[in-house]
Structure 1
Amino acid sequence: MRPTIRDVAREAGVSLATVDRVLNHRTGVRAATIRRVEDAVSRLGFVRDTAAANLSRRRDYRFVFLIPEGSNSFMRELEAQVVAMGARLRAARVAVEVIAIPPFDGDALAAALDRIDPREVSGIALVATEAPSVRDALVRLAGFGIPVVTLVSDAPLFPRSRYIGIDNVAAGRTAASLLGRFLGPREGRIALVAGSMLLRDHMERRMGFEQVMRAEYPRLTPLPVVEGRDDAETTRHALATLLAAEPGVIGLYNIGAGNRGVIEILRAAPPASRPVAVVHELTPHTRAALREGLAHAIIHQDAGHEARSALRVLRACADGAPVLEARERIRVEIYLRDNLP
């Protein structure tokens, strides 16, 4: 049976009211008494039920998510998951708001952050852009003690409580290992497509990719990255231009989104000269491409897990509660045609 607040009070030799004051970090309790309560909590293994405590105090939360707008399928899935979680949490007095931001626009993201009244928000989650204006906006919010988590793409030098997303260096290394194995003894060039190298997640994936290529597959040469702004048509045009100039491309790594443009190019290519492709995120388009043999592997991160994790972490930060690290770790997932869910 789980220990209760009454058990803690009995173990520490204090009143229920004193335990409540210590757990809620209120003043008016002597240091020696605080130590007695904390020691009792530790001995008993007491874990506070913050949801029940918040309901009893009628505490309300308001969390704001800033997510890039546009045709990026993964971002639309992330947004849908956040909205769905918000609907489920209304009964627990949690309000979740999503604000759409133009992609790759640091000033627009900073302006949206500046419009948030820190007195009316419990925490913020954002897909980070490392622009000075974003840093300044986060510094302002940090001054008010507002917890901030970064999603998908981190900004570790900016004020933030935690990053929630995959290890993007590991994702890039995984893509390189997959392509190296798929291509076997062949020699040739590898096309790299990104949304924008101004994004840390795309930059880290490229770094991890090239680390493995140089160390383990020197016969394969990564070409300079072409940027598609995570837009299908822009990506299609950029990749078509690259392949016309580099007819010896035998492999392709799409670091970001814009997968529909990549798939159009692969479908139009003669099968004998079609590059072996590794792409990111399991979407209806990449799933179909994998089944069709146009893509050979998909590296994925679970948008639902990220949405749930962001809300759990923000609530924990708002409550001053611990975070269960193992539960919040977002894993790099690999899908082949044989293990599609």
Structure 2
Amino acid sequence: MKPTVHSIAAHAGVSLATVDRVLNARPGVRAATRARVEAAVEALGFVRDVAAANLAKSRIYPFTFILPANDNSFMRELRRQVLDAASRAGVERTRIDIVDVPAFDGAALVAALQQVAETGPAGVALVAVDAPEVAEAVAQLRQSGVPVVTLVSDLSSTERDHFAGIDNIAAGRTAASLLGRFLSGRSGSVAILAGSMLVRDHRERFEGFCAVMATEFPSLTLLPVLEGLDDPLRVEVLLREQFASHDILGLYSLGAGNRGLVRALETLEVSKRPSVIAHELTQTTRAALEVGLVDAVLNQDAGHEVRSTIRVLKAKADGAAVVAAQERIRLDIFLKDNLP
């Protein structure tokens, strides 16, 4: 039978109130009595259910999400999911704050982490810029006892507690495999559009894409990466310039700014439009799939990522285990034929 606080009290010969004081490290218990209770805990093999204890005490978990403030459709959806979670605060016993930082700005992210640390949060989630100074700020936060989850884009270091996002190397490999098959052994150039190579998710997608292209589709030549900073206007300009200077058979958009991608594609004659793989099923990419401007979209579920982040932060705050299988974020592949 699982030991309880009642069995500890009986074994140690003390009251339930005394056991509660010892388990919660409260004063008012003599050293000898505290030693008897601790010996009873060890002898009986008692393991405290911290989550249940916190529930009984109606503990509130203050969490902070640090999100990039830009006109990225996926990031807007991510923010919406965080706000949705915040609206359930009463049920989930959370208090969720959002801190905005400029996209791809490591210095701003460090400053935000330092400011958040002063508020004493129970956990922090951030869309990471993969820079040493960000990793150091995360390490300092964790050293102060605050668990940290990276969301969507990870750090190269292991300073964070958990990553809530897809396997981005696998995503890049999947994109290459699809694009190579769509092009059916043809020879020519492939364009690659990223948001910024400062973020790990974009670098890993690029790494996976290049690896498969080199081994499986050597007849396709990869052009230098265009960094659109997830800005539709910048993306449109960069692609128009590249379309004017190269005959492009395929295009992998591994970041955002896809409204600019669509506008650039629409300027091309139908016979000259490349096969396109993009990321994230948004209103823009859905419409592009339906009319044939985009051939496939790789998607991650922003809602799952936010819910997973909150579960992990709660578990870390409670000292409880994380169920890895539950927190795995799936990569979905959408064609116009299987749109939800």
Question: Is this a same-fold pair by TM over 0.5?
Answer: yes
The C-alpha deviation readout for 1:32-58, integer Å capped at 9, x for no partner, is 7336325xx6xxxxx9482x5323223
- Name the structure 1 match of 2:31: none
Query: Within 1, Cα distance between the matches of 2:43 and 2:232?
Result: 59
User: Structure 2 counterpart of 1:161, which letter?
Assistant: D
C-alpha distance 221-140 of structure 1, shift in aligned 2 (>3 A): same
1:37 to 34, 37, 45: 45
- Check whether the contact 2:123–2:317 (CA below 8 A) recurs between aligned residues: yes
Query: Within 2, Cα distance between the matches of 1:295 and 1:24?
Result: 58
Query: Within 2, Cα distance between the matches of 1:23 and 1:156?
Result: 38
- Name the structure 1 match of 2:142: 142
The C-alpha deviation readout for 1:48-99, integer Å capped at 9, x for no partner, is 482x532322322110000101110101100110110111122443100111
The C-alpha deviation readout for 1:172-220, integer Å capped at 9, x for no partner, is 0000000011111211111000001111111000000010001111111
**1:316: Cα distance to partner?**
0.5
Aligned positions, number: 329
- Name the structure 1 match of 2:59: 59
- Name the structure 1 match of 2:258: 259
User: Structure 2 counterpart of 1:196, which letter?
Assistant: S
1:111 aligns with 2:111: yes
User: Structure 2 counterpart of 1:149, which letter?
Assistant: V
User: Structure 2 counterpart of 1:226, which letter?
Assistant: L
Query: Within 1, Cα distance between the matches of 2:211 and 2:17?
Result: 57
User: Structure 2 counterpart of 1:268, which letter?
Assistant: T
Name the SS of the counterpart of 2:221 in structure 1.
strand
Q: 5+ residue gaps in structure 2?
A: 27-33
Name the SS of the counterpart of 1:327 in structure 2.
coil
**1:289: Cα distance to partner?**
0.2
C-alpha distance 188-86 of structure 1, shift in aligned 2 (>3 A): same
C-alpha distance 19-77 of structure 1, shift in aligned 2 (>3 A): farther
- Name the structure 1 match of 2:75: 75
C-alpha distance 60-269 of structure 1, shift in aligned 2 (>3 A): same
- Name the structure 2 match of 1:101: 101
C-alpha distance 12-181 of structure 1, shift in aligned 2 (>3 A): farther
- Name the structure 1 match of 2:283: 284
- Name the structure 1 match of 2:210: 210
- Check whether the contact 1:22–1:37 (CA below 8 A) recurs between aligned residues: no
Query: Within 1, Cα distance between the matches of 2:215 and 2:19?
Result: 57
- Check whether the contact 2:11–2:40 (CA below 8 A) recurs between aligned residues: no
Query: Within 1, Cα distance between the matches of 2:53 and 2:41?
Result: 22
Name the SS of the counterpart of 2:97 in structure 1.
strand
User: Structure 2 counterpart of 1:53, which letter?
Assistant: A
- Check whether the contact 1:110–1:134 (CA below 8 A) recurs between aligned residues: yes
Query: Within 2, Cα distance between the matches of 1:170 and 1:13?
Result: 56
**1:116: Cα distance to partner?**
1.5
- Name the structure 1 match of 2:87: 87
Please list, as runs of the form range in 1=range in 2, the aligned pairs for 1:1-341 lying within 5 A after superposition.
Answer: 6=4, 14=11, 29-30=37-38, 33-34=41-42, 36-38=44-46, 48=49, 50=51, 52-118=52-118, 120-157=120-157, 159-246=159-246, 248-341=247-340
What TM-score, normalized by structure 1, do the two folds share? 0.89
C-alpha distance 17-274 of structure 1, shift in aligned 2 (>3 A): farther
- Check whether the contact 1:106–1:129 (CA below 8 A) recurs between aligned residues: yes
Query: Within 1, Cα distance between the matches of 2:168 and 2:126?
Result: 17
C-alpha distance 174-17 of structure 1, shift in aligned 2 (>3 A): farther
Query: Within 2, Cα distance between the matches of 1:323 and 1:25?
Result: 25
- Check whether the contact 1:118–1:141 (CA below 8 A) recurs between aligned residues: no
C-alpha distance 14-186 of structure 1, shift in aligned 2 (>3 A): farther
User: Structure 2 counterpart of 1:36, which letter?
Assistant: L
**1:118: Cα distance to partner?**
4.4
Name the SS of the counterpart of 1:299 in structure 2.
strand
- Name the structure 2 match of 1:44: none
Larger Rg: 2
- Check whether the contact 2:156–2:200 (CA below 8 A) recurs between aligned residues: no
- Check whether the contact 1:234–1:261 (CA below 8 A) recurs between aligned residues: yes
- Check whether the contact 1:118–1:146 (CA below 8 A) recurs between aligned residues: no
RMSD: 2.6
Q: 5+ residue gaps in structure 1?
A: 42-46
C-alpha distance 214-150 of structure 1, shift in aligned 2 (>3 A): same
Name the SS of the counterpart of 1:120 in structure 2.
coil
